[in-house]
Amino acid sequence: MSALKPLTIDIVSDVVCPWCYIGKHRIEEALKQVAEVPVEVHWRPFFLNPWVPREGISRDDYLTTKFGSVEAYKGIAGRVVAAAAEEGLSYRPELVARQPNTIDCHRLIHWAEAIGKAAEMKQRLMELYFRDGGDLTDINVLVQAAVDCGLDAEDVRRRLATDEDVALVSGNAQEAADKGISGVPTYVFAHKYAVSGAQDPQMLARAIRQVSAEINAQAAE
């Protein structure tokens, strides 16, 4: 019997989206349930808050602009914090002091993909933001995150100081928006089936099996 054709999974998400943080864990749990299915996972950029300037803004200003007030977010945050905890994840919104523009984070993920570490880079940045309240506008924080994932500190610092891959990342994010993706996380299977939202692992596992079976049946025809 010939080997199965790998299933491509494009995961469109942002590092400051709490449901993307939860969704990353859930898709990884789903993949454990379907270990027999070969997959190729690609992490695609999305800008949850494209209006935030490159240097970032204070968290209080961000919450006031987006939700009307800091207090208004507390009720929303409570539900997300609880959902994260159910997955064994820590979200501590009270620690976040600065809201970043995430283009540099997405550049790091793109660069990490070259050494097979995109998922690790994504996880490290999310942990820094949600769990530790890290300032993702601080180049030293970004460089250390990159080093933690096996990238070279001096190389990353030099590249971050340029516009390298800014257009590429922005273009990829725009492509997702042009395809109608407005909510994240969105999982795109085999470039044709999209599932939006931090779905349960069991549901994602079923989708992976079904689409894998379909593309392999087509390949056998």
The tally of domains found in the chain comes to 1
Give the integer Cα–Cα distance in Å for 118 and 41.
Answer: 9
Neighbours of 42 (CB within 10 A): 14
**Has residue 80 been placed in a domain?**
no
Residue 63 lies inside a defined structural domain of this protein: no
Q: pLDDT at position 3, please? A: 85
In a domain, 172, yes or no: yes
Element (H, E) at 187: strand 186-189
Task: Give a yes or no: residue 2 inside a domain.
Answer: no
Closest by CA to 109, choosing from 212, 8, 19, 24, is: 24
Query: Would 87 be classed as within a structural domain?
Result: no
Cβ within 8 Å of residue 63, ≥6 positions away: 69, 70, 72, 73
pLDDT at position 2 is 56
Q: What tokens appear for 88 in the block?
A: 């064994």
CATH of the domain at 197: 3.40.30.10
pTM of model > 0.75: yes
Residue 140: inside a domain: yes
Q: Does residue 60 lie within any of the structural domains?
A: no
Provide the residue type at 7 as one letter: L
With a cut of 50, list the residues of the chain below it in pLDDT: 1
Q: What is the pLDDT of residue 135?
A: 98
| pLDDT single digits (tens) 71-127 | 999 989 999 999 999 999 999 999 999 999 999 999 999 999 999 999 999 999 999
Confirm whether 72 is domain-assigned.
no
**Side-by-side strand order, sheet with 39-45:** 39-45, 7-13, 186-189, 193-196
Contacts of 100 (CB under 8 A, 6+ apart): 16, 52, 56, 129, 135, 136, 137
What's the domain range around 144?
A: 7-55+100-220
